[in-house]
Amino acid sequence: MWARVLLPRQRLVSNNHLRRAIMSVPNGASKPQDRSNLVPFSSRLKEGRALAEDVWSIYNVANLPSDCINLGQGYMNFAPPKWVSEAANTALQGIAENHYSHPKGRMRLRQAIKAHYSPQFNRELDVESEILVTSGANEGQYSVFVAFLEQGDEVIMFEPFFDQYLPSVTFNGGKPVYVPLHPPKTEGKNTSNEWTIDLAELRSAITSRTKMIIVNTPHNPVGKVFTRKELEGIAALAEEFNLIVMSDEVYDCLTFDGKEHVRIATLPGMWDRTVTVGSAGKAFCATGWRVGWLIGPPSIIRPTLAATTRIVFCTTSPLQEAAAAGLEQAEQRGYFAKQRAEYAERRKILTDAFDKLGLTYTLPEGSYFILLDISNVKFPDDYPFPASVLGRGRDFRACWFIAIELGVSSIPVSEFYCEEHANIGEAYARFAFCKDTDTLKRAAERLQKLKNYIQ
C-alpha cells in the first residue's frame, strides 16, 4: 500500500534530480555542473539586512587579537551570581527539569515573574494568560511579530534601534518605519535624556497600515530612559490610532542616578495594548541562557503563545528554574540595588576616561552602553581593514582601527540605523561597560591613546 503511494513520488524526485543534472549539459556532453547553489534561498532573507554580516559577528572576539579588551557585544565578563547558577546545577540533577517545559514557561518561573512584577505593573498578573516565557527577549519579540503582523503592516521604531528588530519585522512581512531619536546638539558630556523624540514626527509617521510601535527603555544603544511625559505622548498616539506597543525593557534593572523606570503598560489604558519584554540574561548576567519573558494582556499573550509554541515549543528548562530562583531571592538579597551600584561604578570608569580625553559622549541613564562621538578620531584611509568593514559606515573602520591600535573593541552605531540615516550613526562608537572594574580600568588606560588620533 505505502509502496504504491511512494513509488511515483520517488520517481518524480529522481526525475527532478536528473533534469537538474542534465539541464546545463547540452547534447549530453559531460560539462561539470555548478552544484554550489542548486536551490535558491528564500527571498525574505533579502530584506532586513539579513544577508549582510551582522555587527556582532564582525566585532566578535574571534576576529580580534586575543589581547583586545572586548567592550563590543553587550555581555558580561563575569559569571551569574553563585546562588543563581547553583539553582541551575540543582535543576540539572533533576528529572522533570531536564525535559520539555510547558510552552508558556515553567510554572515556578511564571510564579516568580508574577511575584516580582505584579507590584511594578500595579496588578496581580495571571500566570496562565498574562506571562509567557520565551527563548530570550529576541525570540519573544519575534513571536509577537509572527502573531500580529500582516503583509505590509508598518512597525514604527525609534532610530537608533536595536538591530535585531529589523529582520524580525521584515521576516514577518512587516515594514519598518523610522522615527528619529534626535542626538544632543551640544559638545562635551551629554546625558541620554538629551536624545529626544518629537511627537509631531511620531504622529506623521503613523499611517493606516501602522500596527505597532516599538519602545525600548532603557534604550540600546543610547542608554536613554524614556520619561513619563514622553511615554504619555507615545501612549496617547497608540490609543488614538489603535496600535500595539511592544515595550522592550530588558535593561529595566539598570537605571542610574535615581532615574525612574516608567513602564508604558502602567499608563492609563495602556495595559490592554502593551506587551512588555524582559530578560534573565540582563538581570542575572547570563546572556547565553536565552531566557526571556513577555508580560501583557491575554489578547496579546494568547496569539503570541501560539507562535512561540510552533517556533521553539519551549526554552531551556533548567535555566528557567535558575531564573526563577534569581527572581525569588533577588529582593531579600538586595540584589538589584547592589547590581545597580556596581554598574554605576563601572560606568564611571569609562566616563572618567572620556572626560580626560575631552571627547563628546552620552552619559547613559540606563542600560550598559556609552556612545562616544568618534567623528574627530582620525585614522589612515589605507589602514589594512578587513573586507567585512569596508563599504560600511566610517564608524565601522574607526571601531576596527581603535580595536587593533588601542586594543579596545566597541560597536559602530550606524548598524543601529537604516541605510538612509546611517550617516547619523557614523559619528558614534558604542562601548559596553558590563565588565569587571579591573578590565574597565585597563580599557580606560588604553583609550587614553586616542589623544594621538584626535583631530
CA 62 to chain centre: 20
- How far apart are alpha carbons 261 and 228 in whole angstroms? 9
Residue (of 220, 110, 116, 209) closest to 160 by Cα position: 220
Choice from 48, 74, 80, 364 touching ligand GLN (CB under 6 A): 74
Nearest residue to ligand GLN by CB is: 74
State the amino acid at position 8 in one-letter form: P
DSSP 416: G
Q: How far is the CB of 218 from ligand GLN (least distance, A)?
A: 12
Instruction: Name all contacts of 119-128 with Cβ < 8 Å and 24+ positions apart.
Output: 120/263, 120/266, 121/263, 121/265, 121/266, 121/271, 121/276, 121/295, 122/266, 123/271, 125/295, 126/298, 128/104
Size of the site for ligand GLN (CB under 6 A): 5
Q: How far is the CB of 418 from ligand GLN (least distance, A)?
A: 17
Would you call 3 exposed, middle or buried from its count of C-beta atoms within 10 A (0-12, 13-18, 19+)?
exposed
C-beta separation of 243 from 234 below 8 A: no
Q: How far is the CB of 427 from ligand GLN (least distance, A)?
A: 18
Choice from 60, 63, 73, 196 touching ligand GLN (CB under 6 A): 73
Residue (of 440, 430, 443, 216) closest to 343 by Cα position: 440
* Residue 121 vs 195, nearer CB to ligand GLN: 195
Tell me, residue by residue from 215 to 254, as one string, x for binding to ligand GLN by CB under 6 A and - for no binding.
-----x----------------------------------
Q: How far is the CB of 200 from ligand GLN (least distance, A)?
A: 29
Residue 56 in the binding site for ligand GLN (CB under 6 A): yes
Residue (of 217, 210, 272, 202) closest to 248 by Cα position: 217
Give me the residues paired with residue 373 across strands. 428
Binders in 144-203 for ligand GLN, by CB under 6 A: 164
Q: How far is the CB of 358 from ligand GLN (least distance, A)?
A: 27
Residue 77 in the binding site for ligand GLN (CB under 6 A): no
Binders in 104-143 for ligand GLN, by CB under 6 A: none
- Write the CA distances from 183 to 383, 415, 428, integer angstroms: 29, 16, 11
Q: How far is the CB of 225 from ligand GLN (least distance, A)?
A: 16
* Residue 84 vs 250, nearer CB to ligand GLN: 250
- How far apart are alpha carbons 90 and 75 in whole angstroms? 24
Contacts of 170 (CB under 8 A, 6+ apart): 44, 47, 48, 50, 176
Q: How far is the CB of 367 from ligand GLN (least distance, A)?
A: 9
* Residue 164 vs 409, nearer CB to ligand GLN: 164
Would you call 226 exposed, middle or buried from its count of C-beta atoms within 10 A (0-12, 13-18, 19+)?
buried
Contacts of 450 (CB under 8 A, 6+ apart): 357, 359, 377, 402, 406
Residue 412 in the binding site for ligand GLN (CB under 6 A): no
Residue (of 141, 148, 83) closest to 330 by Cα position: 83
Q: How far is the CB of 74 from ligand GLN (least distance, A)?
A: 3
Contacts of 200 (CB under 8 A, 6+ apart): none
Q: How far is the CB of 215 from ligand GLN (least distance, A)?
A: 16
Q: How far is the CB of 161 from ligand GLN (least distance, A)?
A: 11
List of residues contacting ligand GLN (CB under 6 A): 56, 73-74, 164, 220
